Amino acid sequence: MEKKSVIIDCDPGQDDAIAILLALASGEEIDLLGITTVAGNVPLVLTESNARRICELANRTDVKVFAGASRPLMRKLVTAEWIHGKSGLDGANLPDPTMPQQDQHAVDFIIDTCLAVEDNTITICPIGPMTNIALAFMKEPAIIPKIAQIVCMGGAVKEYGNTTPAAEFNIYEDPQAAKVVLDAGIDFVMMPLDVTHKALVTKERLKRLKDLNSPVGDVCDGMLDYFNRFDMTKYGFEGGPLHDPCAIAYLIDPTLFSGRKVHLDIEVLSELTMGKTVADWWNVNDEEPNAFVCNDLNVEGFFDLLTERLGRLK
């Protein structure tokens, strides 16, 4: 499979952190052009510095990290300290970063990177609210043809919402941005809660990371031990759902996942169902499919890949 030129847009967040580490350990499949950060799980000042903390943990101070939007396009920022802790990376116990934050705004980095390449070259991987991506499309629509694929973590189709009864956090945080991105007509792959709620970090899987006996394994163990608590209590799961790494794993080995090409739309008007991702699974409206929505994965294969790749980071 040809190596993909990837921009990860994220709001670290423990699961974002694992996703970044997976990408950094997968140089055969992913040429990580840069990491753009957005307010989401915690405010931007933390998501941005957390991204740099994770790059330093992986000894990758060469990675360019950019700060982006500090709030959604139209709505008030809603953060998720109740899941991720005040720092956004509770359990990691990482020092303040020393590698520099890039001066350029994340939106301008996305635009400049895309304008510099041929059509259908860039893969964008949003694993937080899609505010930066939407702003980039609105500021410079000429970048849209440059993007080969968008692989995002977000949404909930058959699953109930995790932030409101109807909506998943990333889409609920900025539904207007998600709709701008979806409506751009780019090859769109969505990893909703329907699949990420099957990627559970059970005790056995967590022990495999601890048994890596490496700084990365130890930090992942600490982060996920913290991250697991909320969802295991709330949903009665046998582990926390590893949302964001599903999007990166798809870039590495899409055969780990299954789903369906459907027509997808996003609620941006009703407050009751704001951010609901509506997939026409049975094509009742006979509308052109515009998204590949994943709803299942080879969970042992996923954790085998994750553990093997994280084991490469010394």
83 exposure class (CB count in 10 Å sphere: 0-12, 13-18, 19+): buried
41 binds ligand RIB (CB under 6 A): yes
Decide if 215 contacts 260 (C-beta within 8 A): no
The CA–CA distances, whole Å, from 23 to 16, 76, 107, 269 equal: 11, 31, 21, 35
178 binds Ca ion (CB under 5 A): no
Say if strands 291-297 and 188-191 run parallel, antiparallel, or are unpaired: parallel
Binding ligand RIB (rule: CB under 6 A), the pick from 128, 192, 245, 275 is 128
Decide if 53 contacts 94 (C-beta within 8 A): yes
- Looking at residue 97, what DSSP letter applies? P
- Per this entry, what is the length of the chain? 314
Choose the stretch contacting Ca ion; rule: CB under 5 A; options: 50-58, 195-203, 239-247, 274-282.
Answer: 239-247
16 binds ligand RIB (CB under 6 A): yes
Binding Ca ion (rule: CB under 5 A), the pick from 16, 48, 168, 173 is 16
Distance in Å, CB of 82 to ligand RIB, minimum:
12
Choose the stretch contacting Ca ion; rule: CB under 5 A; options: 13-21, 68-76, 93-101, 206-214.
Answer: 13-21
Measured from the CB atom, is 128 or 263 closer to Ca ion? Answer: 128
Measured from the CB atom, is 168 or 267 closer to ligand RIB? Answer: 168
Decide if 174 contacts 131 (C-beta within 8 A): yes
If DSSP codes are grouped into helix, strand and coil, which group holds residue 259? strand
Binding ligand RIB (rule: CB under 6 A), the pick from 244, 257, 259, 305 is 244
If DSSP codes are grouped into helix, strand and coil, which group holds residue 29? coil
243 noted as active-site residue: yes
101 exposure class (CB count in 10 Å sphere: 0-12, 13-18, 19+): middle
Strand spans (E) along 39-91: 65-67
Catalytic residue among 84, 105, 197, 243: 243
CB atoms within 10 A of CB 28: 9
Measured from the CB atom, is 153 or 157 closer to ligand RIB? Answer: 153
9 binds ligand RIB (CB under 6 A): no
Residue with tokens 């301008």: 108
Measured from the CB atom, is 83 or 122 closer to ligand RIB? Answer: 83
Measured from the CB atom, is 192 or 217 closer to ligand RIB? Answer: 192
127 binds Ca ion (CB under 5 A): yes
239 binds ligand RIB (CB under 6 A): no
Which structure tokens are listed for 199? 């990627």
**Residues in the site for Ca ion, rule: CB under 5 A?**
11, 13, 16, 127-128, 244
**Residues in the site for ligand RIB, rule: CB under 6 A?**
11, 13, 15-16, 40-41, 127-128, 153, 162, 168-170, 243-244
Active site residues: 243
